[in-house]
Chain A
C-alpha cells in the first residue's frame, strides 16, 4: 500500500493541478474555452425568480369538445345518419341515433383508419372513446387522447411563455417543461417578478366584435364587462378579427388626443375582414375584447381598409407597452396559473453567499486546527489533503458547470467535516497495528488494508442518501445532494491517492522512528 510508482505520482499531481486550475477559473478570466467555466449560482444565491406554472386545460378540452359536436354532426350528415340531442356534459359528448344506425356509428369510431377518430398505433389507442350507455352514446377523450391534447397545449404554451419572457429581456431565462401540464420558468437576477407574473397570467385572447342589441343574433350574444369593471355591454359572439390576425402591435403616443394607444397591423385575411366589417358597420360600436373583458368600444366612423388600426383605452405607457407585447407574442392556448413562486432579492442572495463563505472558512479552520492538535504531522497531511480535496470538489463542480445553492454550500462544509473520517479511520487503525507490530511500514500497510471495508461502507451509505436526495429533491436541496455526492468521490480520491502519497513519503523516510503517529 505504500509504494507509489513515478508514473502514478505524476498522474496524481497532474490530476490535482488540473482541477485546482479549473476551480480557480471561477476567479480569473481564461481565454481558453476549456478553462473558462464557472459554477452557476442558484437562484437563492444570485437572486431571481422561480415560477412554476400550471396549464388549466379544462377550457381547451371544453373548446375541443364543442368543435367536435359540429364535426360529428356534419360527418354523419354526409352518411345520412341523423344525430339527435347532442350535448356536452362533464367533458362527455352525449347524442342519440336511431337503433339501426347505432352499429355503423360505433364502427366509425372504432375503425383504425377512421378520419373522425385518429388512431395512435404506438399506444394502441384511439383519440376518442365511445360507449353505448343504453340511453344514448357517450364520446369522450381516451387517456392517450387527453395526454396528446395536454402535451400539444403545453408545447404551444411554452413557446408563448418563451416569447413573452424574451420580450421583457431578462438575462438567461430558463424555461422548461414539467410533466405534461406544467412549465417551469427560472429568471435569474430578476428582482421584481411582478411584471412578468402579470404578463404570464394573461391569456391574451383578443377579439374584435360588434356590440349589438339584437337578441336573436345569428351567432349568439353574451354580456361582457368593461375593463374598469363598472359598465356592461351586450356583444355578439361573431368574431370579426382575432389576435391571430395581428402581424404587429406597438405602443404609440397619439399626439392629437394626447393619450397612449396601441397601434396594430393586420395580416391579409384580417385586413380584408376588418375592411368589410367597418364598411358595413358604420355607426356601430366595435368592442375590443381581451380575455373576456372589453377594453374599449369605439364607434366605427369610416371604412378601414388599410389593414392597420389602433386601440385606445386609457392606457398608461406601461400598460400600452405590455398589451402590445402580449398581442405580439400571441395568445396562450389555455390560462396559466402560478402554483409555486420563489423569489429572492439580489442583496439577500449576496448576504447568503457571504454567510455561506464565512461559515465555510470558520468550519474549515476549526477542523484544520482540531486535526493538527490531535495528529500533529499526520494532521498536517490530512489538512493539506482537505484543502486539495476542497479545490478538486470545486473543480468538479466547475467542470460540470453545476449549480451551487445555499444548501449546496452547507453540503461542502459538511463534506469538510466528514472528509476527515476516512483519514481518521486509517490513522486509528495504524495506531492499533503499531501496538503489536514493530515494523512501521508493515503497520501502515495493515492500517490501510484493514480500514478499507469500513471506509467503503461509510461512504456508500452517505452516497445512497445523496442519490435519493438528488432524484427526489428540488431546487436548492438538489444542490445539497450534488455537493454531498461529488464530495464523497473527491474525498475518496484525496484520501487514497494524495494523503496516502504523503504518508508513504513520510513513513519511508522515518522507517525506524518510534512513536510515529
Chain B
C-alpha cells in the first residue's frame, strides 16, 4: 500500500501555489484568445515555392495595413498560419490579399483554410463558451450534491476548479491559443475529473460504512489504494488515446489534445490530493454518512 496520505499537506500546499500562480497569470498575463473569441481572420497557406517563408509572408502582409499580424509555420515547412485582426473589418479582404500575394508569389501558394470571425460573433462565442463552462460546473455541483453528502461535493468541486484553473494557467503561461475546441476540451476535462473523483469517493463512502474505527486520514488512503489500479489503467488508456491524437491527429487538433492531456493529468492528481484532503480536513466520519442516510429515510 502506498502512503498517499503522508504527502497530503505537501501537495495541498503545492496545489494552493499552483492555483495562486495560475490566477495571477490569468489576471495579469491573460489568455491568448484565437480569432474565435477575439475576432479577426486566419489563413492557412501552403506554399510550393521556397521563396515563400515566414519573413517574406510577414513583409507582404505588413504592407497591407491589417492591424496586428502573426505569421508562423504550421506543422511542416510548406504550411503557414497567418492571423490578423482585420481591424477595419474590410469586406473583401481575402480577395485583396490574394491579389497582393499573386503579385509577389504568382500561383505558388494555395489557401487551405480561411476563417473570418466578425467582432459581434466573437463576442457571442466567448459569452457562450463562458456560459457553457459555468453551466457544466453548476450541473456537476448539482449532480454530486444529490449523490453525496455536502463534504464530498465540496471536495469534488474544489478538485474541479483546481483542474480547470491550472489547465488554463498553463495555457496562459505558454501563451497557447484558446479557441472553440479548447472550450470543448475544458468541458471534457470537467467530466473526466469528476468521473475520477466520484470513483474514489464511492469507495470512501463504502469503506466509511464498513469500518467505524478507522480514521478518515487512513480511510482515504485505503480507498485510494483500492481504486489505484483502476485509476492508473483508465488514465493510461485515455492518455494513450490522447497522445495518438496529439502526435498523429494533425495540427488542428494539437491544442485540443494538449489541453485534454493536461486535464487528465491534473484530474487524476486532484482526485487523490485535493478531493480526499477536503474530506480529511472536514473530519468526515462514519456518522456523516449514516446521519445523511437516516435523514433521507
Which A residues contact B (CB, under 8 angstroms)? 44, 52, 54, 194, 197-198, 201, 337-345, 347-348, 351-352, 355-356, 358-360, 362-363, 366-367, 370-371, 374, 406-407, 409-410, 413-414, 416-418, 420-421, 424-425, 428, 432, 453-454, 457-466, 468-469, 472-477, 480-481, 484
Q: Is there an interface contact between A414 and B238, defined as CB atoms closer than 8 Å? A: yes
Contact residues in A for B234 (Cβ distance below 8 Å): 418, 420-421, 424
Q: Is there an interface contact between A466 and B250, defined as CB atoms closer than 8 Å? A: no
**Which residue on B lies nearest to A416, using beta carbons?**
B241
| Among B10-18, B65-73, B136-144, B277-285, the stretch in contact with A | B136-144
Q: B249 contacts which of A343, A410, A460 (Cβ < 8 Å)?
A: A410
Q: Is there an interface contact between A457 and B195, defined as CB atoms closer than 8 Å? A: yes
| B84 on interface, CB distance cutoff 8 Å | no
Contact residues in A for B240 (Cβ distance below 8 Å): 363, 366-367, 370, 417
Q: Is there an interface contact between B187 and A468, defined as CB atoms closer than 8 Å? A: yes
Contacts A417-B242, A459-B195 aside, 8 further interface pairs with beta carbons under 8 A come to A341-B117, A366-B240, A414-B241, A428-B227, A428-B233, A461-B191, A472-B129, A473-B132
Q: Is there an interface contact between B191 and A464, defined as CB atoms closer than 8 Å? A: yes
Contact residues in A for B20 (Cβ distance below 8 Å): none
**Which residue on B lies nearest to A460, using beta carbons?**
B143
Tell me the chain B residues, 104-132 only, with Cβ under 8 Å from chain A.
110-118, 120-121, 125, 128-129, 131-132
Which B residues contact A (CB, under 8 angstroms)? 44, 91-92, 94-95, 110-118, 120-121, 125, 128-129, 131-132, 135-136, 139-140, 143, 147, 180-181, 183-184, 187-188, 190-192, 194-195, 198-199, 202-203, 226-227, 229-230, 233-234, 236-245, 247-250, 252-253, 256-257, 260
| Chain B facing A: main interface SS | helix
Q: A54 contacts which of B120, B190, B191, B195 (Cβ < 8 Å)?
A: B120
- Given A428-B230, A476-B181: A465 touches B187 (CB 8 Å cut-off): yes
6 contacts between A and B (CB under 8 A): A343-B114, A418-B237, A421-B237, A457-B202, A458-B198, A480-B184
B193 to chain A, nearest CB (A): 9
Contact residues in B for A356 (Cβ distance below 8 Å): 249-250, 253
B196 to chain A, nearest CB (A): 8
Contact residues in B for A339 (Cβ distance below 8 Å): 117-118, 120-121
Contact residues in A for B230 (Cβ distance below 8 Å): 421, 424-425, 428
The 7 closest A-B pairs by CB, nearest first: A417-B241, A363-B244, A465-B191, A355-B250, A472-B132, A339-B118, A359-B249
Q: B188 contacts which of A340, A342, A414 (Cβ < 8 Å)?
A: A414
A432 and B226 CA atoms in complex are apart in Å by: 8
**Which residue on B lies nearest to A352, using beta carbons?**
B250
A66 and B176 CA atoms in complex are apart in Å by: 52
A454 and B243 CA atoms in complex are apart in Å by: 26
**Which residue on A lies nearest to B252, using beta carbons?**
A406
A380 to chain B, nearest CB (A): 15
Q: B184 contacts which of A343, A363, A409, A469 (Cβ < 8 Å)?
A: A469
A386 to chain B, nearest CB (A): 10
